[in-house]
Amino acid sequence: MKAGIHPEYHEIKIVMTDGTEFTTRSCMGKEGDTLRLDIDPKSHPAWTGVQRIVDTGGQVAKFNKKFAGLGLKKK
């Protein structure tokens, strides 16, 4: 291997969505940093098979609010 071209490989702490923690080695950040996951295998529908609604405001409601005044003008 060439010297000086590889990133530093060190231990970081991973915090899952349910609060469980574990230590792994990574090139992310610096020694002792913490990575907090928003989605992990315990909460993602691809692994759990349970669909949760994340956006309760809705994209259609946002669109209607943004473009409400662009309808046909009435005489």
Which value, to the nearest 10 degrees, does the dihedral of the CA atoms of residues 48, 25, 32, 6 take? Answer: -130
Phi/psi zone of residue 55: left (φ > 0), alpha (ψ -120 to 50 degrees), beta? beta
8-state DSSP, 30 = S
Tell me if 50 is assigned to some domain.
Answer: no
Q: What is the pLDDT of residue 56?
A: 58
**Mean pLDDT confidence for 30-56:** 78
Tell me if 64 is assigned to some domain.
Answer: no
CA distances in angstroms from 36 to 42, 55, 59, listed in the order given: 14, 21, 27
Q: Which secondary structure element, helix H or strand E, spans residue 26, and what is its range?
A: strand 21-26
Tell me if 21 is assigned to some domain.
Answer: yes
Q: For 5-24, what is each residue's pLDDT tens digit?
A: 888 899 999 999 889 999 99
Tell me if 36 is assigned to some domain.
Answer: yes
**In this structure, what CATH number is given to the domain that contains residue 8?**
4.10.80
Q: What is the pTM of this model?
A: 0.53
Tell me if 29 is assigned to some domain.
Answer: yes
Q: What's the total number of domains in the chain?
A: 1
Structural domain of 21: 1-44
Tell me if 67 is assigned to some domain.
Answer: no
Tell me if 37 is assigned to some domain.
Answer: yes
